[in-house]
């Protein structure tokens, strides 16, 4: 049935529109994509550019108000739009399968995972006697070692990584010719992400399934896909082989996306991140000429009046009047360098000594933090990294006084002992410690205006008179580069980046000494992320505030941090200046974390794999807690004796039995 010459998927001039309150909004504008059998094609772009709409259109699953108003979708040569209901179901059963962003929600919480997979075999009309056996087989294919046990589980009993394996197994069970992956690793830990990506790569080698891979993460696409299409405002602006597009982009938008990423070896002390000015036009907006021209650095009058065609440049397609300008953009537009301090005041703003934190009662004890000692200098940024469950957030909560650490723990703020609980702290201490959360949506009260939220925080934290408060609100909004016209807006009227600016303004309203940033940019697009990171650096320099920066994105942590602490099962495994931690010698766990990050340049060093999942903190392993997953375990000493944090000089310390001089491997570390 599969014709080798026929593309598995062909989108011909695909146009999709949504009707909102009777008004038609065009989401996709004539997108042309072809995916050959066995090929992996990636679509990248900022949120709202139409990536997901394209993905769901391929399964003809659009929201009720969405419709394809022009063009064709061909799967194995079959026109999807002409199919009746029964034929469409048949196609979904046999030819196309999807893997979703959030596996915890994509699996039915009340049905055992085994039954959910068996359903696929039932739909394929395979005799019932084979279902269980085949389910086992497909779970083994996604490298689940004890399929029988997993089949009996409910989704909530599995970790995020396992859930995604199950979801992939479910998609593979029907042996589809096309697999659509919609941000399959977004929200997973870097190490789990690396596992899942390796799994998909391996599955690709074993089968001729074509892949449509949707992601906002350029490095993931670079690792996974043969070809990539860059989508902007519902239009394909550049398309070509992944290496070509990412190494020598020809569309200014692609260049912009790539330059927003914190590059290896670049830190806040060198230069701010480049951002793309402006925002994505709202769906349905009519822009004369090239749709990117309002944000483009090299656009001229022609760009603003005439829409460019998508042109064949030999090794790629590019929708730009001046593709040659993009290649020189990097030198054309240098931002004025801002002088950053390269050193920080070593006089500590925060001193944590022997912090232990135990959750639970006598019977079930859960040690979330184990003897953590840290200092944070004035104006310094300390990055906290580690997989989920490593204790990053618990540590932040302890510092903020939201949860109470065990007796004997000491937290000193500006040289003064701070009470363990918020209620016991002085107003000055409460003021001094603020937080910026990951998700500004849920951190801001939907029914309050921006002005009200900031004003209220100022009133709560300071003694400023009512009239001066208003002035302070304006100062703060200026400081976070939020236009004053948003002061009377409510969160629902703001984009993600603007909301995060409000949250930052609020955190800074009481002149804090330390701000905890808990994944502040994880929910944001790369260009917005770059702007927020630049803002944080500027605020730090002007206000001498210290940051505790939690993120799973190691590139971001490296860019922003002066020092980095690596946590594993509530213990500091390594701590040191950012560059030392990244360049090594490093702890085997740090090494594994670093090697799991996909890189944009396509050079992927041999990954140091971690065996299995993070052990339960209820029963931490004996000796060195990392020994169960360590690739460089020495022997019984690791199982029996907990190593100390050994200083290597220059503030760098590692908790490992392997002597520091033997830690570096032959391969050049990152």
Partner 1 sequence: MGTDRPYLFQYGDWISGFLAGDLGLSYAYRAPVSEFLATALLNSLKLSLVAFLMVVPLGILVGVIAALQRDRAIDRVISVVGLSASIVPEFVSGIILILIFGVSLRWFPISATWPTGAGFFTQIYYLILPSVPLVLILFGYIARMTRAGMIEALDAEYTRTAILKGLSYPQVIWRHVLRNALLPTISVIATQTVYLIGGLVVIEILFHYQGIGSLIFTAAQKRDFPMLQAGVMVVGALFVATTLLADLIYAALNPRIRLSSQ
d(CA 519, CA 439): 8
Kindly report the CA angle at 217 between 211 and 218, in degrees rounded to 5?
80
* Residue 102 touching partner 1 (CB under 8 A): yes
For the CB of residue 294, give the shortest distance to partner 1 in the complex, in Å: 35
Closest CB to partner 1 among residues 69, 94 = 94
**The only residue of 94, 269, 388, 599 in contact with partner 1, by rule CB under 8 A:** 94
Closest CB to partner 1 among residues 52, 449 = 52
**The only residue of 93, 264, 378, 604 in contact with partner 1, by rule CB under 8 A:** 93
* Residue 110 touching partner 1 (CB under 8 A): yes
For the CB of residue 636, give the shortest distance to partner 1 in the complex, in Å: 33
Closest CB to partner 1 among residues 56, 344 = 56
Contact 298, 252 (CB under 8 A): yes
Closest CB to partner 1 among residues 107, 260 = 107
Closest CB to partner 1 among residues 5, 85 = 85
Please tell me the count of residues contacting partner 1 according to CB under 8 A: 28
In the region spanning residues 10 to 69, those forming contacts with partner 1, defined by CB under 8 A, are 59, 61
Closest CB to partner 1 among residues 196, 245 = 196
In the region spanning residues 134 to 193, those forming contacts with partner 1, defined by CB under 8 A, are 154, 156-157, 167, 170, 174
For the CB of residue 612, give the shortest distance to partner 1 in the complex, in Å: 20
18-24 own/partner pairs: CB under 8 Å, 24+ apart? 18/63, 18/65, 18/66, 18/283, 19/65, 19/67, 20/65, 23/284, 24/284
- How far are the Cα atoms of 112, 138, 142, 171 from residue 122, in angstroms, in the given order? 15, 14, 20, 14
What 3-state DSSP class applies to 550?
Answer: strand
Token pair for 154: 């409910």
Give all strands (DSSP E) within 266-321, no chain letters: 311-312, 316-318
Closest CB to partner 1 among residues 121, 508 = 121
* Residue 471 touching partner 1 (CB under 8 A): no
First to last CA, the chain: 46
* Residue 339 touching partner 1 (CB under 8 A): no
Q: Is the peptide bond between 585 and the residue preceding it cis, with omega within 30 degrees of 0?
A: yes
State the number of CA atoms in the 13 A half-sphere of 73 facing the CB: 22
* Residue 511 touching partner 1 (CB under 8 A): no
Closest CB to partner 1 among residues 92, 452 = 92
**The only residue of 2, 78, 89, 328 in contact with partner 1, by rule CB under 8 A:** 89
For the CB of residue 98, give the shortest distance to partner 1 in the complex, in Å: 5
Token pair for 379: 């104006």
For the CB of residue 92, give the shortest distance to partner 1 in the complex, in Å: 4
**Cross-strand bridge partners of residue 68:** 16
For the CB of residue 52, give the shortest distance to partner 1 in the complex, in Å: 12
Closest CB to partner 1 among residues 150, 369 = 150
For the CB of residue 157, give the shortest distance to partner 1 in the complex, in Å: 7
Give the interface segment with partner 1, choosing from 85-93, 422-430, 515-523, 546-554 (CB under 8 A).
85-93
* Residue 111 touching partner 1 (CB under 8 A): yes
* Residue 524 touching partner 1 (CB under 8 A): no
Contact 290, 304 (CB under 8 A): yes
How many Cβ atoms are within 10 Å of 616's Cβ, its own excluded? 11
In the region spanning residues 434 to 463, those forming contacts with partner 1, defined by CB under 8 A, are none
**Cross-strand bridge partners of residue 450:** none
**Phi, psi values for residue 45, rounded to 5°:** 160, 165
d(CA 260, CA 291): 20
**Phi, psi values for residue 618, rounded to 5°:** -70, -40
Kindly report the CA angle at 92 between 91 and 98, in degrees rounded to 5?
140
Pairing of strands 210-214, 227-232: unpaired
For the CB of residue 473, give the shortest distance to partner 1 in the complex, in Å: 38
Residues that bind partner 1 (CB under 8 A): 59, 61, 89-94, 97-98, 100, 102, 105-111, 119-120, 123, 154, 156-157, 167, 170, 174
């Amino acid at each position: 049935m599969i014709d080798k010459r026929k593309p598995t998927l062909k989108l011909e001039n695909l146009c999709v529109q949504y009707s909102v309150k009777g008004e038609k909004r065009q989401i996709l504008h004539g997108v042309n994509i072809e995916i050959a059998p066995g090929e992996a094609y990636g679509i990248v772009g900022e949120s709202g550019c139409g990536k997901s709409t394209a993905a769901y259109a391929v399964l003809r699953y659009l929201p009720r108000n969405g419709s394809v108003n022009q063009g064709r979708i061909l799967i194995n040569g079959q026109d999807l739009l002409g199919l009746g209901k029964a034929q469409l179901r048949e196609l979904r059963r046999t030819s196309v399968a999807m893997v979703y962003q959030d596996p915890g929600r994509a699996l039915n919480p009340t049905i055992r995972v085994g039954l959910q997979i068996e359903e696929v075999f039932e739909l394929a009309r395979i005799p019932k006697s084979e279902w269980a056996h085949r389910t086992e087989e497909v779970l083994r294919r996604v490298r689940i070692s004890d399929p029988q046990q997993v089949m009996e589980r409910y989704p909530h009993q599995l970790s995020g990584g396992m859930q995604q394996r199950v979801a992939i197994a479910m998609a593979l069970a029907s042996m589809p010719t096309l697999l659509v992956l919609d941000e399959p690793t977004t929200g997973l830990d870097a190490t789990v992400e690396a596992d899942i990506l390796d799994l998909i790569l391996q599955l690709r080698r074993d089968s001729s399934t074509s892949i449509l891979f949707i992601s906002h993460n350029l490095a993931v696409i670079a690792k996974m896909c043969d070809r990539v299409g860059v989508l902007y405002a519902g239009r394909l602006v550049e398309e070509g082989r992944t290496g070509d597009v990412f190494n020598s982009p020809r569309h200014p938008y692609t260049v912009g996306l790539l330059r927003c990423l914190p590059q290896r070896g670049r830190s806040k002390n060198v230069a701010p991140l480049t951002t793309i000015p402006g925002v994505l036009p709202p769906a349905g907006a009519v822009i004369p000429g090239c749709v990117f021209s309002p944000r483009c650095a090299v656009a001229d009058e022609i760009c603003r009046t005439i829409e460019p065609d998508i042109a064949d440049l030999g090794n790629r397609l590019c929708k730009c009047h001046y593709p040659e300008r993009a290649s020189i953009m990097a030198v054309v537009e240098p931002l004025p360098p801002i002088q950053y301090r390269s050193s920080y005041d070593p006089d500590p703003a925060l001193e944590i000594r022997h912090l232990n934190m135990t959750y639970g009662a006598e019977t079930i004890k859960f040690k979330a933090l184990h003897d953590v000692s840290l200092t944070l200098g004035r104006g310094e940024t300390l990055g906290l990294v580690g997989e989920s469950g490593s204790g990053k957030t618990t540590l932040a909560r302890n510092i903020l006084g939201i949860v109470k650490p065990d007796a004997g723990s000491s937290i000193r703020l500006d040289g003064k002992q701070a009470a363990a609980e918020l209620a016991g702290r002085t107003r000055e201490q409460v003021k001094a410690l603020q937080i910026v959360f990951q998700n500004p949506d849920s951190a801001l009260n939907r029914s309050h205006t921006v002005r009200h939220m900031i004003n209220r925080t100022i009133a709560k934290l300071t003694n400023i008179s009512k009239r001066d408060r208003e002035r302070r609100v304006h100062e703060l909004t200026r400081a976070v580069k939020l236009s004053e016209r948003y002061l009377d807006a409510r969160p629902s009227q703001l984009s993600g980046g603007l909301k995060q600016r409000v949250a930052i303004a609020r955190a800074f309203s009481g002149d804090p000494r330390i701000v905890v940033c808990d994944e502040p940019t994880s929910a944001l697009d790369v260009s917005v992320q770059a702007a927020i990171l630049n803002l944080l650096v500027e605020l730090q320099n002007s206000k001498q505030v210290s940051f505790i920066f939690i993120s799973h994105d190691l590139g971001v942590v490296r860019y922003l941090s002066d020092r980095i602490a690596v946590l594993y099962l509530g213990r500091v495994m390594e701590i040191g200046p950012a560059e030392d931690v990244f360049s090594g010698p490093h702890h085997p766990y740090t090494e594994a974390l670093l090697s799991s990050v996909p890189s944009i340049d396509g050079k992927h060093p041999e990954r140091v794999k971690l065996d299995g999942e993070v052990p339960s903190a209820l029963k931490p392993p004996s000796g060195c807690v990392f020994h169960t997953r360590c690739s460089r375990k020495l022997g019984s000493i690791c199982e029996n004796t907990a190593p100390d944090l050994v200083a290597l000089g220059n503030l760098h310390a590692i908790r490992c039995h392997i002597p520091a001089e033997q830690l570096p491997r032959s391969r050049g570390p990152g």
